[in-house]
Amino acid sequence: MRSIVQTLASVLFVALLCAAPARAQEVKAGDLVITQAWTRATPNGAKIGGGYLTIENKGSTPDRLLGGSTDAAGRVEVHQMTTKDGVMTMRPLGDGLTIDPGKTVKLAPGGYHLMMFDLKNPLKQGDTVPVTLKFEKAGEVKVSLAVQGVGAQAPGDAATGGAMMKKK
């Protein structure tokens, strides 16, 4: 009986480890700390996708996210989505997105985000999308967006694991 209980406990422990979403890694690039990089799966034929992440500026001067690139899409731009009087609008931030010293900026659905145009293939849940972010001061930073489910609202929705990032 004791061995059955031990076996069940071991199986339960392993199952809990596997079910827990992996913790997103962070990358430090200059004074910036980037975490929670993710995207949503796209349906077949979709030509655009969004990218989301959190950027913290631990320095004493501002930096600016200017855009990015990826082999998965033709181009990557920084966009802002807003809703006014029930009307949603989206516009590119041609001058980039400022990350003020001591502040954290979250790129998330319904707000600031990366817009990936001319996707070459659908983004599939469980995959990762390598993206190179371009900052005014921190330079180029490689991140991998963890592809969540189609309707995900945050990293870990339809858990597919964390994002891996590294400085170029």
Digit-by-digit pLDDT tens for the chain (168 residues) are 555 434 333 433 333 333 334 445 788 899 999 999 999 999 999 999 999 999 999 999 999 999 999 999 999 999 999 999 999 999 999 999 999 999 999 999 999 999 999 999 999 999 999 999 999 999 999 999 999 999 888 887 644 344 444 444
Distance CA 112, CA 53 (A): 10
Can you give the pTM of this predicted structure? 0.79
Among candidate residues 35, 95, 38, the one with its CA nearest the CA of residue 65: 95
pLDDT at 14: 34
User: Dihedrals φ, ψ of 67, to 5°?
Assistant: 155, -150
Sign, Cα dihedral of 96, 51, 26, 55:
positive
